[in-house]
Amino acid sequence: MKRLVAARMDRCIGCHSCSLACARLVHKLLSWEHAGIRISSSGGLTTGFQAEVCLACDPPPCAAACPTGSLKARPGGGVVRNKNLCIQCGQCVPACPVGAIAQDRAGDIYVCIHCGQCVPFCPHDCLELAEVES
C-alpha cells in the first residue's frame, strides 16, 4: 500500500501547486479550498511551511465519527470516501487528530486519499508516495 508523505517540507516555498493539482485532478475543481492536501505557514514566511495531510490513522477516528458511513477505513490506514453518503454534518472534521479534513463553505468534505496525483506538481520535491507495509 502507498501513502502520501510530506517528507521534505524544509524545501517547501508555499506555492500551493500540490493543493491546486489535487483540487483539479481529483475533485475537478480549482481552489485551495477543494483539496485533500493544504499548505500553511508554520509561523511566518521565514519559518517555513507545513503540509496538512491525512496521516492514514488505523483505525481512522474520522470514519468512526461519520454517522452515515461516508468515510470508511482503508486497508492499511486512512479512509475511502463515498460522496453520495455524505450528509455534510462535519462531524469528521473535529475528529481528525491533525486537522487534515477540510469542509468548504458549501459543506463538502475534502481529505487526502493517498492517490499521489499531487506529487509530480511539487517543484521542490517535498512530497512522495511511499510504500508502507499494511
* Confidence (pLDDT) at 76: 82
* Together in a domain, 23 and 44: yes
29-83 pLDDT, tens digit per residue, is: 988 889 999 999 887 666 689 999 999 999 999 999 999 999 999 888 889 999 9
Beta bridge partners of 51: 39
Q: Does residue 102 belong to any structural domain of this protein?
A: no
Is pLDDT above 70 for 84? yes
Is pLDDT above 90 for 123? yes
CATH number at residue 133: 3.30.70.20
Q: Does residue 69 belong to any structural domain of this protein?
A: yes
* Together in a domain, 42 and 63: no
* Confidence (pLDDT) at 77: 86
Q: Does residue 92 belong to any structural domain of this protein?
A: yes
- A 10 A CB-CB count for 54 gives 23
**DSSP per residue, 60-117:** -HHHHH-SSS-EEEPTTSSEEE-GGG-----THHHH-TT---EE-TT--EE------T
* Together in a domain, 45 and 12: yes
